Amino acid sequence: MTEECCASCEASLDTASDTSTNSTPKSLSILTWAQSKSVLEAYADLYQQQFPDEPKIRVVSVPSLQDLNAEVNFEFQHPSGVYDGFVVPPMLLGDMYQKHRGTGLAVFDKEFVDDLLPYYKYQVAMYDGAIRSLPLFSGSQLLLLFRKDYLDQKNLPTPKTWSDYVRIAAVMHNEPLGTGGQPIYGSCMGRLSQESCRRKDGLSITGSSPCRSQSMSYLGMMLSSMTQVGGNRTGWMLGVDETTPTGLDPLFQPTLETILLLMERQIRFGAPDELTEDASLNIRLFQEGRCAMTVTAEHNAELLNQSDVGFVPLPGFQKYLLRGEDEMVDCTKESCPFGQDFEKWGRVNFVPFAATDATVGVVSAHVVQSRQEHAKKFFQFAMSSSDLDSTAFRRQPLTYSQLKKSTIPGYGSTIESSTNNSNAATPFRIPNAFELLSDLDNRVYEYLVQGDYSTDSRQRMAQSAEKSWQTSIRMYDARGLGLPSRVFHAKSIGSYVPETASEIYIGSVARGIGWGLGGLSCLASLWLALWVVKNRNERVIRASQPIFLLMICLGTFVMASSIFPFGIEDDLASFKGCSIACMAALWCFCIGFAITFSVLFSKIWLVISVLRESRGKQRIKMTRRDIFLPNMFLYTINVAALLTWTLINPQSWTRIPINEEASHQNLIQESTRGWCGSSQTMMYLGIILGANLVMMIVSLIQAYECRKIATEYSECLWISASIAVIAQVWIVGLPILKLVDDNPRGVFLTKVGIIFVSTSSTLLLIFGPKLGYHSTAMAEKKYEQQVYGARSSFSSEDQPVIDPSETQSHSEEESPNNPHNASKMSRTSKPRIEPLGIRIIPACFVHSQEADKLQMAVDKAERRNRSLQSTLETLQEKMEQYIIARDPLGGLYNNAAGGTVFGSTENQGKLARRQGSILASRPEVLLSKSIHGLDDD
């Protein structure tokens, strides 16, 4: 034991040193029990010889199955990573799988089991829909061995039922058919229980062969023939009963009473030391010719090739348990579809059964991936290798390749029919299975040893066993460690039906929402582009450069159009069409983003560049070349990466399983979702995403630097806001994409949200203020036209009052026929197209003291301005009085006639009112002027 502990400690140190890297580990640690230690070490040595570069296999063993069960449960409850793999009987898989919601067991790829015989592939290696173990060393099918010469001398057939087995054993028992006329035993079965074997090993001399108990197998092979008639998914140990607290019904009454009766008679016609010997008694007495029949999983090729030795599948039973009624009834073709008809026995149900102490290899998922792969490789070698001496370990074939090498007549067909039988018993693999089987094994063994054989005793024993199982299952479920036992029972036999899988497509509703938003964004980009073209001569458009605005519209249109291929899945198109849509979506999004973002970057970059180079200029010139040069940097990187990606390793559409938490224990059906991917997706995405992120970070830094720069129409502010919004969308959207990675609908809607918010916010922040400025400018222009029209109408109505000579001269001066005026009007009728540029409003940055001084100067200037304004108004009043006094009515008429206007419109109103008040106070002036006018006429 000290050596085993040292090996475990050394393996622990090796594991700790290997967890930091994916390099080949120095050694692997495999845990097993004494019964499998020798054969596991033999395979480890052979593996090292054939693969010297592979890790060394260290075998760590415990004395008994009880100890192995305790160590395995502790390791999976509190993972330490000490053990890379485990060689255990299948009955321990339930406990191993139950821990950590099914994530503690590594899953083997399907190619590992391609060559396995059907029983080992589907009922041993597979657990709950996945390959979680590999059967090792040898097959475990139980066969009935018999002496042909002995049965022929008595003219007896091979037994077809367990009752027939007892009958033939009774006939053969004590017959002088052995060597030298020695009496033989009718049946040989060493019935020492597992617990008794453990005690025996504790008292045995070191180095002796470990005790091997098959009492659980003997009990199971007879029980299954009575309880499992509808196929391996109906189970043979437990039934479903919703009326019980556990939802399970141990199938013990009255089957266990019948089994105990059969065992009593087998013991009567068997060897006298059956109750004190293990399964090694079977082959030993049979090889010595002292036994007519036995049951074993040790298929010694040399023994089976002997002419006087025969083998057949296990007997069946002519009655079966009617579940729910607790009654044994006769088999019929309808109730026992896997049975056979015999003239003497009627319909007999047959169930191939494997030994309960068979071995499987399990890999721990708590160690690094590289160690898992090496452990899987070793277990595959131990499963399929045929280099070991088959007789040394009584090797029974596990694979078709091994079965083909058999030279035993009739053996291949017998094994193939047993392992390809849909009614073969699946190993009992629920959590706590070992404790339950041990409890039943001990009860049966104690009953047989006590020898109080009676109907009442059998009935009491069956009732107590059933009650004990119900209590144990109920207490185990009450711990709340995981799913109830009834769920694991259904999973272990393959009858559990997972819940219906969740939606694996985007769906028409989500696709409609996404495409609607994409179409809205595309239409907005198109409408704004047309608006820019239509109003390209307006000041607000010329100040922002039409080419700049048109490129933003183009970029947002292309980026928004990527929503449409993102929404294409194999429910709308073929896999080839979906693969084309995968790359099309990337092209549209990346190119659209590159165009949009590089234009924004170019504009803000030029603003900062010009500001740094010449702060004193009021106007700077920005050409198309200045826009395209920075633009081409980001655009070139995206195009080059996408083009290389498309030509070398394009994305293709596939469906992959969704690894939801509930599917770890197969509670729901394994959902699949569509996925665009390739072997180098992450590399190309990293290049594109890295370039865009670098450009975004630089843009954010420049936006911060120009936060105090005031441009005409505040354009720098809106560009900075657009860049900030896009950055926020990426910061929020990328983690959400990772969180909803397994939900196609969520992924699509998140992509739609990122694209729509990016495009719509850019359009809104860039064009929204310009639309407002343009609307205000158009309203002012319309108001000016209305004022000008009103003035023209007023002038035409008062034309007779005006001096014709003056009117004529004035009209000639304003006539378009005048060459001088024609050229002048042509110059003013067409607005001057300004060169591309950014109008920067000068701004100075001063300290607080300087700002206070400037504020005081402004206040002083305002006071001075108000004083001058008051003086100006006083002088204007005096001038008006002077004019009126000199010519009381001339000025009034001249103003009405459209003559020279003194001052503003407001001053004209004041003048008219003052003239009225003066004339009212001096009526003689008005009268004199009127008479003077009549004289003129």
58 forms beta bridges with 29
Yes or no: say if 566 and 674 are a contact pair by the CB < 8 Å rule.
no
User: Cα 151 to the chain's mean position, in Å?
Assistant: 63
User: Cα 183 to the chain's mean position, in Å?
Assistant: 69
pLDDT for 5 equals 46
- Compute the distance between CA of residue 691 and CA of residue 687 in angstroms, rounded to an integer: 6
- Compute the distance between CA of residue 556 and CA of residue 107 in angstroms, rounded to an integer: 46
Residue whose token pair is 């950014």: 838
Q: How confident is the chain (937 residues) per 10-residue block, as mean pLDDT? A: 47 48 81 91 92 93 92 90 94 88 86 91 90 91 95 94 96 91 93 90 70 92 95 91 88 94 95 92 92 92 92 96 92 95 94 93 93 94 70 70 90 94 93 93 95 93 94 88 83 76 78 93 94 85 81 92 92 89 92 86 72 55 61 81 90 76 54 82 87 82 68 67 86 87 86 92 87 80 72 53 43 45 43 44 50 78 85 83 66 43 48 49 42 38
Yes or no: say if 570 and 655 are a contact pair by the CB < 8 Å rule.
yes
Handedness of CA 437, 440, 443, 448 (dihedral sign): negative
Distance between start and end Cα atoms, the chain:
146
- Compute the distance between CA of residue 422 and CA of residue 230 in angstroms, rounded to an integer: 9
Count Cβ atoms below 10 Å from residue 725 Cβ, excluding itself. Answer: 17
Query: How many residues belong to the chain?
Result: 937
Distances in whole angstroms, Cα of residue 12 to Cα of each of 29, 60, 106, 586: 8, 11, 19, 48
3-class SS letters over 665-721: HCCECCCEEEEEECCCHHHHHHHHHHHHHHHHHHHHHHHHHCCCCEEHHHHHHHHHH
Cα 218-221-222 angle, rounded to 5 deg: 90
pLDDT for 16 equals 46
What domains does the chain contain, in order, with CATH numbers? 2-138+359-403 (3.40.190.10), 143-353+421-476+489-493 (3.40.190.10), 508-613+623-653+679-778 (1.20.1070.10), 843-936 (no CATH)
Q: H or E stretch including 468?
A: helix 455-478
Give the gyration radius of the chain's Cα atoms. 49
Helix (H, G, I), strand (E, B) or coil at 295: strand
Q: For residue 314, which of 419, 464, 162, 448 has the smallest C-alpha distance?
A: 162
Q: What is the pTM of this model?
A: 0.62
pLDDT for 257 equals 95
- Compute the distance between CA of residue 527 and CA of residue 556 in angstroms, rounded to an integer: 12
Look up residue 790 and give its two tokens.
């009103």
Yes or no: say if 756 and 538 are a contact pair by the CB < 8 Å rule.
no
**DSSP per-residue letters across 784-803:** HHHHHHHHHHHHHHTGGGS-
pLDDT for 811 equals 43
Yes or no: say if 294 and 150 are a contact pair by the CB < 8 Å rule.
no
Query: Between 433-450 and 194-203, two packed helices, what is the crossing angle to 10 degrees?
Result: 80
Pairing of strands 672-677, 238-240: unpaired
In single-letter form, the type of residue at position 153 comes to: Q
In single-letter form, the type of residue at position 705 comes to: E
Look up residue 599 and give its two tokens.
């234009």
pLDDT for 631 equals 66
pLDDT for 838 equals 46
**DSSP per-residue letters across 84-95:** SEEEE-GGGHHH
